[in-house]
Amino acid sequence: MSASRLAAFTSCELSDALLKLKVSTGGFLPGIQLRSSGTICAPAYTVQMVLSSDTTAPKLSEHFVDTAPAGAAIVIDVPAQQANAVWGGLMTAGAMARSAVGVVISGRCRDIGEHRALGFPVYARGPSTLGQSPFTRPAAVNVPLTITPPPDYAFPSVTVHPGDFIIADEDGVVVVPRAMEDAVADKAAEGRAIDANCLRDIQAGKGIQATFAKYRGK
């Protein structure tokens, strides 16, 4: 399965592979960092948040955690620069009961100690003491998300489609389009082999410039 192949690689290796395959962002979601413990490699179940004051956006009939598929990575897009959290300890408990494998948030989380105690991977832009109400609410699930970086990043937005693969570790979060799984895994394996050769020669004292020229062509 492609999923298990992607799981063998780090987020850095997969970003490198995506860049070599002409994905200009390398699939990287800037500013989203690990807040608990654990890694993620799973298909995305997407959630769009809106401001609570938005009366035009639809309302969900069920809580989005209750409809998360087993084995999914929950990806939540939050309106820009919100100070409140959209994820807390009870949501982690619910997600684990549904066998979801982690959450990635373009916003904030809270109850960090609870996520760590439960061993659930939570990736977010920062912490908050504020809960979701009365600031934001979920409006849609399983829709494409346009993840916009924080304003201090000179970086384009990245689209996450339902079912795209989310790979997250201590270096960051990467999105691999489902249609590119095999190509990315193949390219990442090539890159790992090249890096192994580079490491061997550099440790033997052959120099970084000469080694890169030999194996990387630069």
The secondary structure of the chain as a DSSP string is -HHHHHHTS-HHHHHHHHHHTT-TTTTB-TT-EESSS--EEEEEEEEEEEETT-SSS---SS-GGGGPPTTPEEEEE--TT--SBS--HHHHHHHHHTT--EEEESSEE--HHHHHHHT--EEESEE-S--STTTEEEEEESS-EEEPPPTT-----EEE-TT-EEEEETTEEEEE-GGGHHHHHHHHHHHHHHHHHHHHHHHTT--HHHHHHHHT--
pLDDT for 217 equals: 85
* Predicted model pTM: 0.95
> Domain residue spans in the chain?
2-178
The rounded mean pLDDT for the chain is 96
Alpha-carbon radius of gyration of the chain: 19
pLDDT tier, 185 (very low <50, low <70, confident <90, very high otherwise): very high
Residue 9 has pLDDT above 90, yes or no: yes
Residue 181 has pLDDT above 60, yes or no: yes
Query: Are the CB atoms for 145 and 160 separated by under 8 Å?
Result: yes
pLDDT tens per residue, range 83-141: 999 999 999 999 999 999 999 999 999 999 999 999 999 999 999 999 999 999 999 99
pLDDT tier, 1 (very low <50, low <70, confident <90, very high otherwise): very low
Q: By CB neighbour count within 10 A (0-12 exposed, 13-18 middle, 19+ buried), where does 205 fall? A: exposed
Residue 60 has pLDDT above 80, yes or no: yes
Residue 3 has pLDDT above 60, yes or no: no
Kindly state the average pLDDT of the residues 68-77: 98
CA 207 to chain centre: 35
pLDDT tier, 218 (very low <50, low <70, confident <90, very high otherwise): confident
Which CATH fold would you assign to the domain 2-178? Answer: Glucose Oxidase; domain 1 (3.50.30)
**How many Å apart are CA 51 and CA 171, to the nearest integer?**
30
Residue 2 has pLDDT above 60, yes or no: no
pLDDT tens per residue, range 142-172: 999 999 999 889 999 999 999 999 999 999 9
More confident residue, 80 or 4: 80
Residue 23 has pLDDT above 50, yes or no: yes
Which tokens in the block code for residue 51? 């401001």
pLDDT for 83 equals: 97
pLDDT tier, 62 (very low <50, low <70, confident <90, very high otherwise): very high
